[in-house]
Structure 1
């Protein structure tokens, strides 16, 4: 080997050593990188496993892992709480959890799971250790090995017991609401910005439209044009949130183009932000009510006119009757004076009877005037001291010496018209005094304070009234007293005054024992 060849070989060996060192250096760097990467992957894997475990343990829904035979291998905390079992401490098969009546359905669903690899929206009942029977919703899938053979299954289980109970309760409430709406005598309409969304049977019958026909219309289509402008303004205020409800009387156009008057109450249905979602209207047909109200007003006007006419007639008749009565009274007195010496006692008695008849006729005319004018006078707002008023009435009455009139309790002050109240007590006291047929006559005035009325009573121990006459005596021109002196108007005037003050009057009596007149006056 020549020197030149030896030099070339040496150089080659030097290059080979340098190349080996370079390769070893590269290999060392790559090994270091690989080690660092390996450590990082292991850390990331542990971190990911920890994160997955956290997700598994904190899953809101229950998670169940089982083998292909149904033996539970794993449950998360939610599943353990739901079922009451822990597979780490006890063996459990899903068959034990299936509700007996749902067994066939469960087996059929499990076969479908194995065949199709997954199912969703499975709903059934399960037995739990502590919570009784629960309703659950399950989404499940099959777990397979590398060869594609099913080796287990996993499922997400959600407890829907309360959800189903709430849905059932809501359904029942909806049925009740539907029954109320459908059987309501009021028309009910649901609208959205003027468009009719829903109606009930009463509203459909009210306007003679079908539900479908109404749902194709707007409120404007069934409203009379001149009335709609008013309700439209209120509806705009409702939509703007200025008001939450309103009531309006308006006319609706029926299917046959006739109209009805209806009272419409509209309320807003708003969302959580206060925006309008719907408007609900309750509609009541008031056409007949308005007709009756119109007739009532006309009847009142007619009655007022007739009362005025009767009152005028009473005054005219009394004037026309009293003039000849005064003339008769004067002539009789003149005859008695001028021919006193020519008449015997029988003739004088006849003239006295004639004058009594004239006086009775005069009293009768006065009574008719008083009777006809009672409801023409304002009830009055005087503060009347009844104690003083009744005392003064007693003082002016002719009371025989054998009769005692006594006010049992101090009488109250009441609001009213003094003259009317004086008429009332004077007539009743006079009747009581005239009814006395005992050697010792007693008349009592008493009262009670009721919630809304004063209750008075005037009692006597006189001859009494037979029960058959106790109601008849309040009728005009009916009298049980002396037909020659009694006009039969006094008690009818009393009754009219009592009713004028929103009270009642009645009588209790026993023949031979006495009579009590009871009456009330509104406070």
Structure 2
């Protein structure tokens, strides 16, 4: 009892360490492990006079705690002294080992109240039970130990079972999936086989699938899409085959990949004869290097600039050179540069242009000769005409009073005819000079021109010139505006069939120029004669009834055309309306500001 009484606290009981049972001071040969509870008994003076000791068999007390051990699991109840009682599933009785006992090994324990340690050989779980000792609170620790291999053996077994089940499930799923997919994909494979039968052929596709399911929807959509693509392909093929211009495509290496029939005919090759040939075959040898380098260095920007046409020399299959107009553009196929050439044979155009050039040159010569003839004729004919006029005047001055009536009338008629001839020659000379001489481009108002015309025309009594509004605000070049308005107003008065009449002049800015409107209330011009009205020497009344050369409207029309304008005649019943449009850029000078 001495060890139990040593240092005995007076105010509380405590548990002893696990020790061997002693009888009469000697260790029990059976090595029975005891766990005691000591309760001190105080004396009158407050000191410990005795103690109540409860002896308990440690094996029985701890066996109640250790409920179940399996396999290779071992449980150790470790005292603070290092002594422990060892339980395992293979032994019916626990084994008590203390530090001095044979076979004792120290069991490592953590400082925490509970924990778990796993290493390569052993798994350990710790839990502590607090106990009051004579020296204060201590712990009775329980350590569960199991070899690493046996701990994970059930897990491995379950893992392989799960793996086997998974493999079986996968195999079953694969088989079932194969079966289901075979049934589901059978129509798809049938559609694919039907599509492959049309591979490379530009023909309509009709898929034999009538069910209204997803596959049927795909089949119908495919038929529709294929039909649209075939429509586009047929359209492109028709354009390619029937285009009257030569078409060819060239790859980046300068090889011809395709050529349409028009190009093959143009250069004298059989169908397919240009396929795969170098582009050089269509170019004269002297130009091949330049064109080859041009294609090799062409950028997309240069290709766009080459969209404008240019004329080069091509080489026919028989060795002849032919001029062609070519336009080149660049495009891509699967990321590779390609070039499209549009080729036009310009031989016929050049022949027509040369023919037209010769015709224009001949026409210019003819016009020049005609103008020269008109100028010379009108100028040279005036000399004898002046002699006749002078002779008639001399006769009239010398013997006019002694001439009989018929002779005087004949003399007056001769003077009238010579005056008409002089006017005719003057008008003919004026007509020939239109467009060949510079004209007065001084800007004036229409009002100023009308005022000048009033002084130039023979305005008979009973006739008037009516002016429209705003004539003093519209500026036009003096010529040919004066010549045009003078002839139109003069014709309206000269060819009037009444003793009284009116000619109206209006003007306004229209579009890019000025429009004049000259109208009268005279007899008008029948519809069947309106085309002839602008011809040379055309009068609608006998020359004995009206003094005129028949050149007025011809002079007007030529003046308008040379100024870049237009003239129109309107006449229904009585009266005529002439509309003249003169563009400002050619028919008028800049407007002149009026000053106060």
TM-score by length of 2: 0.60
Is residue 258 from structure 1 mapped to residue 320 from structure 2 by the alignment?
A: yes
* Structure 2 counterparts to residues 266-285 of structure 1, below 5 A: 266-270=328-332, 277-285=337-345
The 5 Å alignment of 1:31-110 reads 32-33=148-149, 67=176
- Cα drift, residue 281 of structure 1: 0.5
CA RMSD, Structure 1 to Structure 2 (Å): 4.4
Give 1:440 shift: 3.5
- Contact 1:237 / 1:243 at 8 angstroms: preserved in 2? no
Q: Which residue in the other structure is 1:185 paired with?
A: 244
Q: For structure 2, which runs of at least 5 residues remain unmatched after alignment? A: 1-120, 124-145, 195-206, 585-596
Deviates more, 1:175-184 or 1:448-457: 448-457
Which stretch shifts more, 358-367 or 36-45?
Answer: 36-45
Within a 5 Å distance, the mapping from 1:459-478 to structure 2 comes to: 459-478=519-538
Matched residue SS, 2:319: coil
**1:439 Cα offset (Å):** 4.5
Find the counterpart in structure 2 of residue 493 from structure 1.
555
Alignment partner, residue 387 of structure 1: 447
The residue number in structure 2 matching 1:521 is 582
- Which structure 2 residues correspond to residues 105-184 of structure 1 after superposition, within 5 A? 133-135=216-218, 169-184=228-243
> 1:309 corresponds to which residue?
369
| Partner in structure 2 of residue 422 of structure 1 | 482
Contact 1:227–1:250 (CA under 8 A) maintained in structure 2? no
Write the distance in 2 (CA, Å) between the matches of 1:465 and 1:45: 119
After alignment, is 371-380 or 200-209 more displaced? Answer: 371-380
Q: Distance in 2 between matches of 1:240 and 1:466?
A: 64
CA shift digits 1:441-485 (9 cap, x unpaired) = 121123465545644332211233333322222211111245142
Query: How big is each residue's C-alpha offset from its partner over 1:287-318, in whole Å with a ceiling of 9 and x where there is no partner?
Result: 21122112222222222222222222222222
The residue aligned with 1:327 is 387
Aligned counterparts of 2:581 and 2:161: Cα–Cα separation in 1: 99
Q: Do the aligned partners of residues 36 and 287 (structure 1) sit closer, same or farther apart at CA in structure 2, a change above 3 Å counting? A: farther
* Contact 1:244-1:268 at 8 Å conserved across structures: yes
> Do the aligned partners of residues 413 and 294 (structure 1) sit closer, same or farther apart at CA in structure 2, a change above 3 Å counting?
farther
Whether 2:354 is the aligned partner of 1:294: answer: yes
Per-residue Cα deviation, 1:394-422 (whole angstroms, up to 9, x for no partner): 33212122112112233474665x33222
User: TM-score if structure 1 supplies the norm length?
Assistant: 0.67
Do structure 1's residue 434 and structure 2's residue 517 form an aligned pair?
no
Whether the aligned pair in 1 keeps the contact of 2:264 and 2:270 (CA below 8 Å) is: yes
Aligned partners of 2:246 and 2:263 also within 8 Å: yes
Confirm or deny that 1:202 pairs with 2:285: no
CA 1:28–1:126 in 2, change beyond 3 Å: closer, same or farther? farther
Aligned length in residues = 421
Change in Cα spacing, 1:330 to 1:435, as seen in structure 2 (3 Å) is closer
C-alpha distance 364-40 of structure 1, shift in aligned 2 (>3 A): farther
In 1, the alpha carbon distance for the partners of 2:481 and 2:164 equals: 102
User: Aligned in 2, Cα 1:42/1:125: closer, same or farther, shift over 3 Å?
Assistant: farther
Q: 1:479 touches 1:488 (CA, 8 Å); kept in 2?
A: yes
Q: How far did residue 426 of structure 1 move?
A: 0.9
Q: Output the CA distance in 2 between the equivalents of 1:48 and 1:235.
A: 68
The structural deviation recorded for 1:128 is: 8.2
User: Cα deviations across residues 360-406 of structure 1 (Å, max 9, x unaligned)?
Assistant: 11111111112222232468865453332233223321212211211
Listed one character per residue, the Cα deviations across residues 65-124 of structure 1 (whole Å, up to 9, x for unaligned) are 66499668xxxxxxxxxxxxxxxxxxxxx87x689xx59969x99xxxxxxxxxxxxx99
Q: Which residue of 2 aligns with 1:90?
A: none
The 3-state SS of whatever aligns with 1:339 is helix
Query: CA offset at residue 228 of structure 1?
Result: 5.1
Deviation at 1:231, TM superposition (A): 4.4
Task: State the Cα distance separating 1:48 from its structure 2 match.
Answer: 13
Alpha-carbon distance between aligned partners in 2 of 1:38 and 1:375, rounded to the nearest angstrom:
120
Change (3 A) 1:28 1:297: same
Distance 2:249 2:393 in 1: 87
Is residue 444 of structure 1 aligned with residue 504 of structure 2? Answer: yes
Q: Unaligned stretches of 5+ in structure 1? A: 1-26, 57-63, 73-93, 110-122, 137-160
The corresponding residue for 1:507 is 569
Q: Which structure has the highest helix share of the two?
A: 1
Partners of 2:188 and 2:215 within 8 A in 1: no
Q: Does structure 2 conserve the Cα–Cα contact (< 8 Å) formed by 1:126 and 1:134?
A: no
Q: Secondary structure at the match of 1:288?
A: helix
Q: Is the 8 A contact 1:432 1:462 kept in 2?
A: yes
**Structure 2 counterpart SS, 1:133:** helix
Question: Structure 1's 429 and 42: CA in aligned 2 closer, same or farther, altered over 3 A?
Answer: farther
